[in-house]
Every structure is written in C-alpha cells, then in structure tokens.
Structure 1
Amino acid sequence: MPFGASVSLSSGVLLLLLAIGNGLSAPSINPSLQRAEVLAAMAAVGLMLVAVLWTRAQPLAPDAVDLGGTQGLRMELGLNDATRTELAWGSHLLLTATSAATILVAWDERVVLRRGLVPPLPEGDSSSSSPPSETFSPGAICERSRTQGQLVSLVKTALYPGSSEFDPVLPGLPAVMVHPLGERGWVVLGGWSERCFSRSDERWFSGWCERLRMTLETNDVLPVQADAPAPPGC
C-alpha cells in the first residue's frame, strides 16, 4: 500500500476508535454528543475510503522475478522477408512497450521465434553456426486457448497447477499470456512479475497475434514441386 494511503487508513481507524472510546466513556448521551459521534464516524469512513481508492489508483508494482536465461534472438532459418520482418518488429514492440520478458512463437509444431530471455541451447549446439530446430509441445492451457479462439492470461502462474507447460519457454515465469494462431500455432508471452500485463497490453497482444497469423498463412512455405518435364525439342 502506498505511504499516503497507509497514513489515510491509519488516521481513519484511529479517529473511529477515538469516537467509540469517547462515546463509551461519556457519563450521559445528549444530542450534541450524538451529532459529534456521527460526524466523527463519517470522517473516519471517508478517510478509509480515500485509502482504498488511493490504493486502486496507485497500486504497488509487484517485484520483478530473477529469471534465468540470457537476452537473445532465435529465428528459424528459411523464413521469407515478410515473415521475418513481421516477427522482428512485433516481438520488439512487445518486449519494449510491455512488461514482457520473453516471447515464443510456435507454428506447425515448430518454434519459429524466441526473443528476450531465452534458455541456453542444449549441450553440443552452442558452437553451431545456426540455431537448432525446436519444437513446442502445447498443454491443456494452450489447447483451451485454441478451442476458445482467444487469449488466455495467467496473471499469477503460481495459482495454476497446469502452468508448468510453459517451463520450456522459460522456467519460473510469474505471468503468462498465450494466444492461438488459428489451428496451427501459438504465441506465448512471459512477464517479469505477477499481474504485470494491463488490459491495453492484452488488446495489443491479441491484435498483433491476429496480424501475425494472417502473415504466416499468406506467406506459408509450400512444398517444392518436382520440375515439369521439358517440352519436346528443347
């Protein structure tokens, strides 16, 4: 609770206790005392209400969690320029304009993007010139978001037993948002602290996920077809 709200609440409680004590210790109850008691009670309740509204207007920001991993960017090779550009600018804005610590984009069971805090590469792959291909195994929460076709936000992952499905994204994430990419993928956004994402963050995240889905579907990589036979005489 902010300091000003604490002072207001303490003053209200103290005033209420003094009014009660004054009423109990009075030898007789007269109209003047009754009016004073009513005014004191109204003032005490007003001060406590100010403290409550103050706390709602300026809530204390939760402490950031010391997450593992290192800052990095991993993007699947072979993506076209339009897809790479969409992934790059969208993930950059989410990581800089919100309280997000990490982002993962999965498409057709492949991880096409990791950015922000990323877990270390498996042993033996750190010296590779290109990042290894990764897969993402969705759990019950991801499947629920796809079934509902909308964002699922876990404001405090400690309250959700199934939140361990996001440990492969980054262990110990205190808050997570997951949004489906149609029937073919998900975007997972992990926060630095509990309740760190606002309503505007959720709307912006959902809007970008819809845009990304259309980009991925439009620029989908088609199977390479066999060369057509050359016409006679060539």
Structure 2
Amino acid sequence: MAPFTPARVCFLSGVASLALVVVNQTTAASIDPALERAAVLASFLAVALMLVGVLWTRALPEAAARVALEGVQGVELAEGLPDDLAEELGWGSQMLLTATPAAAVVVLWKNRCLLRRGLLAQVPFEPGAICQRAQEKGAAISLVDLNLYPGRAEFESLLPGVPAVVVQPIDSRGLVVLAGWSPRCFSRSDLTWLEGWSQRLRERMEPACGNQDLMGPGEAKSPEFPPVPPDC
C-alpha cells in the first residue's frame, strides 16, 4: 500500500470535503441562499486542496524504485598508477557511490580502464557510439531511462539491465561512466559534481600522460596499430 505522503493527504482531504458538500446539499431539507453560498465556498476550498495536492506531487515526484541489478560489489584499480592519481580515483569514486544514486563507476583514459568500482559486471565494458559522441561534444550525455533509447545495448556490458547512465568526458581522451540504480535518478547537482570531478581527474592525468602506465598498450607508438579496447 502506498504511503500517505503530505501531497496525497492534501488531495484526499479535498476529495472528502467536496463529497461532504455534495452529500450536505442533497440531504438538506431546504436550500436557502446562505446554504448555497456556503456550499459554493466550500466547493472552491475543496477544489483548491485537490489542486495543491496535484501540483505538490508534480513538484516533488516520488523517487523511482531501485532496479535489481546483477553484479558483484567490488573495486578494480589499474596497476602502476601514480599515488596521487590512485588516491583521487579512490576518493572520487567513493563519493559518487555514497552521495549520488550511482551503482557503478567506470573511469577510462586513453583506451585503458583505470577504475571500476561499485556493482561490477562479469564482462568488460566496451564504449560505443554514445561514449564517442560525448567525447566529440565535450559534454556529458545523460540517458535518464535507457528503456527509451535504441542504443541501450551499448551499456549492457556496463551492467545488464541498467536503467540510467551518465557519460561524462574527460577532455577528448577519457570518460567517466556512471550507472544508476533507477530511471531518472541523477539530479542536476549530481551532474555538476561529476563534471567537476572529471576536471580534477584531467589535471591529475595530464602530468602523467607521458608515463607508459597511463597509455593503452600499443598506443601512439605506431600509427599502424588500431586502438586497443579498454581492458575493464
């Protein structure tokens, strides 16, 4: 049974008041002008309560229920990372998992998976066209309900059946991908926080970009070799 939220109580109070006005009018022995004026005023008040309840529900919609996602809780951090970068990845991912509705966090840099944390799938995540478009645009792409998007198959390797995803580019060389527990779960403040963290990651990664540990295998050494897919 749905809980009686303040908005629902307000709406039901309006319905009950309007019903009482109708019952009072139909059962009255005689209807004089004073009773008619009182009935009209009470009807307006009842309708006003109903409208307040409806608008309240639209302004503060109920959160969608969590989807039962398949995966194992864990953390996977790439080896050989500088200490400051590893610390930043650990701190930021922990904040995203505790302060936002994120179920999983994946960080990619130059075709290499640096971090997977949260609910982990059994197969590696391979970014596709949507992730590439986010990097080309240089702006986040928020897929609030993957059931509405034909490209949702791209994120089946992130988490099977994931309901919502945010793809945040790190410059044009990296990505932060968040998987949400429920449709429309990420707020504007969550997206702003994620954008700020991606900028911090870029500042940590750029000084180490010459380090082979942060370069994907075979990357930039020979143009004959195609980019290696992420190893996450």
Task: Give TM-score scaled by structure 1 length.
Answer: 0.77
**Aligned pairs for 1:75-154 within 5 A:** 75-120=77-122, 136-139=126-129, 141-154=130-143
Change (3 A) 1:197 1:69: same
Which residue pairs with 2:186 in the alignment? 197
Which residue pairs with 2:216 in the alignment? none
- Which deviates the most, 3-12 or 15-24? 15-24
Pick from 35, 38, 47 the counterpart of residue 36 of structure 1. Answer: 38
Q: Deviations over 1:20-47 (max 9, x none)?
A: 6766898998643542243122211221
Ranges of 4+ aligned residues in structure 1 off by more than 6 Å: 21-30
Pick from 12, 15, 35 the counterpart of residue 10 of structure 1. Answer: 12
**RMSD between aligned residues:** 2.8
Shift of 1:71: 0.9
CA distance, structure 2, for counterparts of residue 74 and residue 27 of structure 1: 78
Q: Deviations over 1:140-189 (max 9, x none)?
A: x3233223322222222212221221111111111111111111121100
Which residue pairs with 1:67 in the alignment? 69
Where structure 1 has 5 or more consecutive residues not aligned to the other structure, the ranges are: 122-133, 225-234
Please state whether the residue corresponding to 1:186 is helix, strand or coil: strand
CA distance, structure 2, for counterparts of residue 143 and residue 32 of structure 1: 71
Q: Are the aligned partners of 1:119 and 1:170 in contact in 2 as well (CA < 8 Å)?
A: yes
- Which deviates the most, 30-39 or 112-121? 30-39
Change (3 A) 1:223 1:116: closer
Change (3 A) 1:146 1:21: farther
Change (3 A) 1:23 1:101: same
Q: Percent identity?
A: 50
Please tell me the residue identity of whatever aligns with 1:150: A
Where structure 2 has 5 or more consecutive residues not aligned to the other structure, the ranges are: 214-232
CA distance, structure 1, for counterparts of residue 136 and residue 22 of structure 2: 57
Change (3 A) 1:101 1:89: same
How many residues in Structure 1 have an aligned counterpart in Structure 2?
211
